[in-house]
Amino acid sequence: MNITQFPKKSTLTIKQHRFSNESIQILLILSKSKLRAGFLPALNSCLTSRLFCAKIVIMRNERENYKIEGLTITLEKASRSLHNTLRYIYALSVGDFYNVNVKDLFKISLSDISNSDVLSNLGISPSNALDDENFELLDSLFFFAFAVRLPFLNRQFPKKEKIKDRFLREVYESCVSKGAADENGVLAEFGEDFKRSLKLAKSSRTEPPFNGEWLRRWIYAFGGAELSAITNKNMFVLGCMDALIPLYYAKLMEILAEEIRRD
């Protein structure tokens, strides 16, 4: 933009400058009398400053979008890992589960919650008995269960470093767009809702326990005859998941907080 091309007499002139596909409107009010010495250099400096600020905003938006995407991927991987862990535990239950060291099972599972096949280190394969279409819905249910608890992340940060509601909502919406869903309304029955979490997280009330009660509800209602039957092996599976789900959640919240702190 060549400012010296403007006439010395003018009323109100609006010029538009484009930067990185972002429109920045700059209002130029030029005096009706002769321009004083030094006005043009000052105006040029003002425009340069505005464009620099616009560049910072664009860079900040790009960095924020990148962080939202990264957090979504972390949540998605953790839900897929927990979903697959259930299949591994079910495979163990079919065998001689009385001789399984549960501490090793938990330790390996929690060593890398982004790895859906981490339990292959036990020398077993995930059960194919649970590979039906209905069981696959659990993947999106785990994903949703983690996503609606995002507001409680703020409890891991001091007051001056609190995460904005808008950012948390965008991460939540990103998860939903990637497939997080409560198809059967099981989580809703237990009051699991993003808006409710947002309200509770700001209050002094204790965070509701994140346990496997809703998973039990889903299994008995939609898990099919094989998984919902009251047998020793199914009790072993549910017992493991009851203990593992809150541990997974706690580990995930730590990882998400670390990612947010990372610049």
Banded model confidence at residue 175, pLDDT cuts 50, 70, 90: very high
| Amino acid making up residue 83 | H
More confident residue, 219 or 11: 219
Task: State whether the Cα torsion 92-98-100-105 is positive or negative.
Answer: positive
Question: Whole-angstrom Cα distance, residue 92 to residue 81?
Answer: 16
**pLDDT at residue number 160:** 86
Closest by alpha carbon to 168, among 155, 151, 192?
151
Contact criterion met (CB below 8 Å) for 172 and 164: no
Question: Nearest-5° angle of CA 136, CA 253, CA 66?
Answer: 80
Answer whether residue 135 shows pLDDT above 50: yes
More confident residue, 233 or 258: 258
Question: Whole-angstrom Cα distance, residue 73 to residue 252?
Answer: 12
Question: Whole-angstrom Cα distance, residue 40 to residue 241?
Answer: 70
**pLDDT at residue number 12:** 36
Question: Whole-angstrom Cα distance, residue 117 to residue 138?
Answer: 17
